[in-house]
């Protein structure tokens, strides 16, 4: 087995390698003066089981292209099998034609990965789980919940006064999984999206008055949905408000909004390097991903890691 890291999230790759007890492969990733990516694998990978760690987080297009080039280099060096380890899968929100004359970019990315030579994909908390069906190769879809639940239980040892809230109707299944695991109540915020960066929350389904609240979502970039939901939950009498997010691609705008919001803390994973900020606490998913890699390499079942 060889573990290769792209430049998207070197810190996470190093943690995964430490979990597996082996060093990262010696790979050189540079850029030509015109911006083209140059890759060279500086050690023998013939017949090896290759795992390339590269979340397609911002800069998304650059990181996807770098992953494709790394895959091509490994394939041409006679690697036995290539697994793309993408803790965060970009373009996952473009999974259907919701308007005339728009692409299904998630399917395009799946096609690109397969055509480049990827034999297997390891990812976590896809925005749309049906994206697994866009691939004609095996996809191992992990969930961040096991990594986050431990921290949440430490933060809230008494869950009798805790309500897990989905910030929209589409996230009810995920919120229910967290509520069941924590033994908490469930509520929903019905929202209306005005634009890509503005969300107007409409109403709360469920009782949050006088209760601690955990908002659960798969990802946030501008924190518009979370902050709008927190505002209406506060108006409905919520006592303390926290957020649990699988992927936090936190921007400056998000940190500004969170600073002014009623959210005390955003608990997330280190699936992307952007998961940091004054109110952000990142829990590492390196042990989860490392165990999945170990089992895939050993031909063992990873079903128990799919727990939601």
Residues known to be catalytic: 191
For the record, the structure tokens of 183 come out as 């033994």
- By the 10 Å C-beta count (0-12 exposed, 13-18 middle, 19+ buried), 36 is classed as exposed
> Do 13 and 63 form a contact (C-beta atoms < 8 A)?
no
For residue 147, the surrounding DSSP H or E stretch is helix 145-155
Quickly tell me which residue has 């004054």 as its tokens: 278
Query: Strand 241-248 and strand 212-220: pairing?
Result: parallel
Buried b (16+ CB within 10 A) or exposed e, 114-140: bebbbbbbbbbbbbbbebeebbeeebb
Q: Which of 220, 165, 221, 225 is nearest to 191 (CA)?
A: 225
Quickly tell me which residue has 């009810």 as its tokens: 172
Quickly tell me which residue has 């970009």 as its tokens: 90
């Amino acid at each position: 087995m060889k573990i290769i890291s792209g430049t998207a999230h070197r810190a996470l790759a190093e943690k995964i390698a430490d979990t597996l007890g082996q060093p990262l492969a010696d790979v050189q990733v540079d850029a030509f003066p015109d911006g083209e990516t140059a890759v060279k694998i500086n050690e023998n990978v013939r017949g090896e089981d290759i795992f390339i760690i590269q979340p397609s987080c911002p800069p998304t297009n650059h990181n996807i292209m770098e992953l494709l080039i790394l895959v091509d280099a490994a394939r041409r060096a006679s690697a036995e099998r290539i697994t793309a380890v993408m803790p965060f899968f970009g373009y996952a929100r473009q999974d259907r034609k919701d308007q005339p004359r728009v692409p299904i970019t998630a399917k395009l990315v799946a096609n690109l990965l397969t055509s480049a030579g990827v034999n297997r994909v390891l990812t976590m908390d896809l925005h749309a789980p049906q994206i697994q069906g866009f691939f004609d190769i095996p996809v191992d879809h992990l969930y961040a919940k096991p990594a986050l639940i431990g921290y949440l239980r430490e933060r809230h040892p008494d869950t009798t006064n805790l309500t897990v809230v989905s910030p929209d109707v589409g996230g009810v299944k995920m919120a229910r999984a967290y509520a069941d695991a924590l033994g908490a109540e469930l509520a929903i915020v019905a929202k209306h999206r005005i634009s890509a960066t503005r969300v107007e929350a409409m109403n709360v389904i469920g009782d949050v008055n006088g209760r601690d609240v955990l908002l659960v979502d798969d990802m946030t970039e501008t924190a518009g949905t979370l902050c709008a939901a927190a505002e209406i939950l506060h108006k409905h009498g919520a006592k303390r408000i926290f957020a649990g997010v699988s992927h936090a691609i936190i921007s400056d705008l998000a940190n500004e909004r969170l600073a002014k919001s009623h959210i005390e803390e955003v608990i997330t994973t280190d699936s992307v390097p952007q998961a940091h900020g004054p109110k952000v606490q990142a829990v590492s998913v390196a042990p989860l991903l490392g165990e999945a890699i170990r089992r895939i390499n050993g031909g063992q079942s990873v079903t128990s890691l799919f727990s939601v």
